[in-house]
A = this chain, B = another copy of it.
Amino acid sequence: MRSTGGSPRLADVAEAAGVSIATASRAMAGTNGVSAAVADRVRETAQRLGYVANIHARSLAGGSSTTVGLVVHEIGDPYFSEIASGVLDLARQRGLTVQICHTGRDPEVELTQIRTLVAHRVSAIVVAGSGFVDPALERTARGELEQFTAAGGRVTVIGRHHLRADAVLPDNLEGAREVTRHVLGLGHSALAVAAGSRTLTTVADRLAGVHAALAEAGLDPAAVPVVEAPFTRDGGRQCATRILAEHPATTAILALNDDMAIGCLTQLRRDGVAVPDRVSVTGFDDVAVAGDLAPGLTTVRLPMAEMGRRALELALREPGKRPRRATVGADLVVRDSTGPVGAFVVDAASGA
Contacts and interface: CB of A to CB of B under 8 A. Distances in A.
Interface of A: 5-7, 50, 52-57, 59-60, 65, 67, 74-78, 81-82, 84-85, 88-89, 92, 97-102, 109, 113, 115-121, 147, 150-152, 233, 262-263, 265-266, 269, 288-289, 291-295, 305
Contacts of A75: 75, 81, 84-85, 88
A269 B291 CA distance: 12
A272 to B, nearest CB: 13
6 contacts: A74-B85, A78-B81, A97-B101, A262-B289, A265-B292, A289-B289
Given A75-B81, A76-B85, A152-B5, A292 B294 contact: no
Contacts of A7: 118, 147, 151
A102 B119 contact: no
Most buried by B among A109, A121, A292: A292
Copies in the complex: 2
A233 to B, nearest CB: 6
Most buried by B among A121, A147, A291: A121
Nearest to A78: B78
Contacts of A5: 150-152
B81 A305 contact: no
Contacts of A100: 84, 88, 98-100
Contacts of A289: 233, 262, 289
Contact of A57 (B60, B97, B109, B293): B60
Given A60-B60, A100-B88, A101-B97, A115 B52 contact: yes
Contacts of A147: 7, 50
B102 A89 contact: yes
A119 B92 CA distance: 15
A341 to B, nearest CB: 22
A120 B95 CA distance: 13
Nearest to A92: B102
A5 B147 CA distance: 11
Nearest to A95: B116
Contacts of A119: 52-55
